């Protein structure tokens, strides 16, 4: 199956942004107050810290569209929650709540909804006081490993399924609010 050009370009752009977040001197904090599904969950995972409101939920529902996570979900999720939970989330598409996300390591802290902004700001105030060079080196060493290779493989697989008949059916079914009929094509 030939990778879809549009999907490949979108994927490379997202991977570039998220990799630059990991290698930047700037510490990133995701403040999640609602749904972080698919690309939103992947963007949150690319951040250094994730603070969640009690009402937040996280998931990788791409399987329900006939595609796979393409912005790091097959690579960052297992690094954060473990292989078994990541496989469950990626293969079932079932989201988890904020407290379960905290239990598995996807979220650093869960707070009441009305405290999310203040808590995130408090984290930012603390982190901005840390030495920038040390932050940069800690992040660089912490993110060193096989992530780039994994993202490369994810990108190839994403490109292959993004242009598939199943992907078209899954997306059309989602938009039409009906159950998809996947055929493995």
Q: Which residues are catalytic?
A: 42, 62
Q: Which residue has the tokens 């998809």?
A: 180
Helix (H) or strand (E) holding 151: helix 147-162
Contact 91, 123 (CB under 8 A): no
Contact 2, 22 (CB under 8 A): no
């Amino acid at each position: 199956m030939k990778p879809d050009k549009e999907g490949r370009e979108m994927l490379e752009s997202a991977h570039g942004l998220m990799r630059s977040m990991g290698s930047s001197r700037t510490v990133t904090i995701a403040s999640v107050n609602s749904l972080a599904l698919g690309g939103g969950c992947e963007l949150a995972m690319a951040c250094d810290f994730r603070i969640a409101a009690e009402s937040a939920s996280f998931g990788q529902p791409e399987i329900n569209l006939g595609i796979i996570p393409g912005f790091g979900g097959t690579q960052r999720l297992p690094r954060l929650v473990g292989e078994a939970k990541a496989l469950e989330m990626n293969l079932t598409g079932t989201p988890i709540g904020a407290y379960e996300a905290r239990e598995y390591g996807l979220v650093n802290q869960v707070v009441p909804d009305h405290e999310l902004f203040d808590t995130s700001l408090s984290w930012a105030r603390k982190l901005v006081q840390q030495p920038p060079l040390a932050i940069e080196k800690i992040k660089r060493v912490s993110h060193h490993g096989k992530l780039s290779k994994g993202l490369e493989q994810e990108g190839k697989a994403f490109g292959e399924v993004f242009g598939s008949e199943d992907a078209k059916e899954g997306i059309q079914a989602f938009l039409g609010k009906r159950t998809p009929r996947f055929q493995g094509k």
